[in-house]
Each structure stands twice: as C-alpha cells, then as structure tokens.
Amino acid sequence: MTDARAQIQQTLDENDVVLFMKGTKEMPQCGFSSRVAGVLNYMGVAYRDVNVLADEAVRQGIKEYSDWPTIPQLYVKGEFIGGCDIVTEMTLSGELDQLFDQKDITYNKDAAEKIRAANA
C-alpha cells in the first residue's frame, strides 16, 4: 500500500484541487462523483480528477489516507474537505466559496451564486 500512498501524496502535492472519484470529470461513473464533479465543473475550478476505478490500490489507499470510507473525496491544497454530502452542503452555504477564497483557488463566483439560487 506504500506505493499507492506515495502516488496519492504526489498527486496532492502537485495539484491544488484533487477529486478522487469513480470515473472521470468528463464521464463520472456514480451519482455522488457526478454531483461533486458537476459543482466543480460548473464553478470553473481547475482540478485533477483521479479515477479510483482504474486502480484498486488507489481506491483502497485513499480511504486509508483520509480515514474516510467513501468516494468521492475532495482535497484542496492537500487538505481533505469531504465527500459528496459535505461538498454539497458547503456549496449551498457558501463555505466552499470561502474556502476557495482563503486557499487562493480560482472559481466563478457568479456560477456559485447560481447554484445557490437554483437550490433556494
């Protein structure tokens, strides 16, 4: 598992925003991954997607790395943010915007407002 852990750490070190997901950002393969990728895509966030279905060691390794049992998992500047429910809540409350602002992550503020307005 150390190879997977090293690969995960390298991915997090080299990318400001990383989504470990089932499938890819262009073609998610589960509803939860699709929801988080959809939020990031709509908000125009540049992020690295890691398809855990392509590598069983990474799929297991990321759960151990974060001590979080489910996929997707969002990381910002190496910090584990959460899965689908947490990202959804943070998006709707504006906390995700605040996090992106604090961490100097570029995103479309108007798109974030449209998501909240559509879910109000």
Look at the chain and report how many structural domains it folds into. Answer: 1
Position 1 pLDDT exceeds 70: no
- Domain range spanning residue 55? 2-118
Q: pTM of the predicted model, to two decimals?
A: 0.96
Categorize the per-residue pLDDT at 2 as very low, low, confident or very high, splitting at 50, 70 and 90: confident
Percent of the chain scoring above 70 in pLDDT? 99
Tell me which DSSP letter residue 28 carries.
B
Describe the crossing of helices 95-102 and 84-93 by its angle, rounded to 10 degrees: 90
Q: For 50-85, how does the pLDDT look when each residue is reduced to its tens digit (9 = 90+)?
A: 999 999 999 999 999 999 999 999 999 999 999 999
| Full DSSP string of 32-91 | HHHHHHHHHHHTT---EEEEGGG-HHHHHHHHHHHT--SS-EEEETTEEEE-HHHHHHHH
CATH assignment at residue 72: 3.40.30.10
